[in-house]
Amino acid sequence: MMTKKELRQQIRRQKQLHAGDDSATILEKLKQLPSLFSARTILLYCALPDEVQTESLMNELAAQGKTVLLPKVIDDSTMELRRYTGKKDLSPGAFSIMEPSGERFTDYAAIDIAIIPGMAFDSRGHRLGRGKGYYDRFLSLLTSKTIKIGLCFPWQLVDDVPTDKNDISMDCVIC
């Protein structure tokens, strides 16, 4: 089995081959989930150029009156959530990721769905992040009722993601 570092290197090479992959098909699959339709509070992410692009989904869900939350990096180990109400809320933050300036959100028990990016996922819901641990530390704060959905391109779905005790698995992966 590959180490996390080796798998990250492999995925980075793959990303160069798949630059510009279409996110729309993946988002359409996600929107077919009944749990997304019924969710009131949804954690999403602002995508980096090599991730499934979520801006259209953020805007669509906000327009439906759902509470859309986005992460904001606070320091080397912590991220917090902010409400997203529109593109005007966003500005470049840590790691050149667009981050929200909206109202802080701390009612983690109210989050129905958490849609999470990753470098790679496997069929058991194991997730490989970028290596800083922000999402794993944050996801450990959510309740068991929050549905955790990994979002990735098909080539990011691998046979086996190495895990350790701090890794948080997804309930499902959409690719």
Of 35-44, 57-66, 69-78, minimum mean pLDDT range: 69-78
pLDDT grade, residue 147 (50/70/90)? very high
Instruction: Give the predicted TM-score (pTM) of the model.
Output: 0.92
Mean pLDDT of the chain: 92
pLDDT attached to residue 132: 86
CA atoms of 84 and 95, how far apart (whole Å): 19
Q: What angle do CA 171, 173, 174 make, to 5 degrees?
A: 135
CA atoms of 167 and 140, how far apart (whole Å): 9
Does position 110 have pLDDT exceeding 90, yes or no?
Answer: yes
CA atoms of 125 and 45, how far apart (whole Å): 18
